[in-house]
Amino acid sequence: MNRSFSPVECRAVELDKVAWVPFPEALSAGGIRWKLLNVAPELGSWAAIFECPAGSSFNSHHHIGPGEYYLTKGKMEVRGGSEDGGDTVVAPAYGYEATSAFHGRTYFPVDSEFYMTFLGPLQFTDAPGGQTIALVTWDSAQAAWEASQAG
């Protein structure tokens, strides 16, 4: 080994000190807003909170790496919701979305809010195993966030 490494720094964010910004419309519908809370460049993980108005949704995507959410408000239909083989959860709720999980539809029937940690990227695609429309990695998430702050 040629060099010495130091532990990574801890960090904290008080959420009310950060303003909501629109989440990219290319990847969602219905006015979702977000706050990016952290990125961790060695593993490629990132954390964010999302505010999802009634009727909003995320476009279909694969989780490339596990994701864990904590729904603090509202109701979320994941993987089609419980009527279509997925889960419909009512806040407060926790969920583990496994590596490779395909989210054909993530829909919010009422005003909702959730916090999520992602180990690795989201691959937006039209169908399971389909062509990649967008690969949202820790660094593209950071770039989108910083662009929104620069405005």
Binding residues (CB under 8 A) for a second copy: these are 1-16, 18, 35-45, 47, 49, 64-66, 68, 70, 72, 78-79, 86-87, 89-90, 92-101, 115, 117, 119-121, 123, 129, 131-132, 135, 137-140, 142, 145-146
Tell me whether residue 56 or residue 123 sits nearer to a second copy (CB atom).
Answer: 123
CA distance 146 to 124: 21
Contact yes or no for 38/69 (Cβ under 8 A)? no
Contact yes or no for 95/87 (Cβ under 8 A)? yes
CA distance 118 to 101: 13
Structure-token pair, residue 31: 């006015």
80: left (phi over 0), alpha (psi -120 to 50) or beta: left
Tell me whether residue 53 or residue 93 sits nearer to a second copy (CB atom).
Answer: 93
Tell me whether residue 25 or residue 72 sits nearer to a second copy (CB atom).
Answer: 72
Minimum distance, C-beta of residue 98 to a second copy, in the bound complex (Å): 4
Tell me whether residue 127 or residue 131 sits nearer to a second copy (CB atom).
Answer: 131
Minimum distance, C-beta of residue 77 to a second copy, in the bound complex (Å): 11
Minimum distance, C-beta of residue 25 to a second copy, in the bound complex (Å): 20
Structure-token pair, residue 137: 């990695």
